[in-house]
Amino acid sequence: MKKLKDQLKKISSSLISLSKQVEKITKQVEKLQPKKAAVAPKKTAAKKKVAAKKAPAKPPTVIDSILNAIQKTKKGITIAQLKEKTEFNSKQVTNALYKLTKKGKSEAKSRGLYVKK
């Protein structure tokens, strides 16, 4: 047991000396690295800005189309009218209406009649 304690003391003292050596080396490295000079602001007035190319517009999603149709009406719109205006099938329309009501963007005024919130 005594041998183990002696070995641990030796290890701890060697670790302490190693950490001191590491600190000295890092200080020396910091001295060797050149300090960054203050960066002068770039003159942007001389450069002409190149117009960025716009990505082609993505077609609206089913939910966006349904929401736009709902927002255009004052009294609300029925599912049948939504299917007719958007040309989506009934499954797409009902799924979109469900998601819009969950998000709080539309609400059912009565059965089958939806208004914007």
Cβ(66)–Cβ(96) below 8 Å: yes
Q: How many Cβ atoms are within 10 Å of 71's Cβ, its own excluded?
A: 13
Rounded Cα distance between 60 and 81, Å, is: 19
Rounded Cα distance between 5 and 70, Å, is: 80
pLDDT score of 56: 81
- For residues 26-53, average pLDDT: 68
Q: What is the pLDDT of residues 89-111, one digit of tens each?
A: 999 999 999 999 999 999 999 99
Cβ(99)–Cβ(63) below 8 Å: yes
Helices (H), the chain: 2-32, 62-71, 79-86, 90-103
The position carrying tokens 């004052």 is: 74
Q: Please state the domain extents for the chain.
A: 62-116
Question: Which of 1.10.540, 1.25.40, 1.10.10, 3.40.50 would CATH assign to domain 62-116?
Answer: 1.10.10
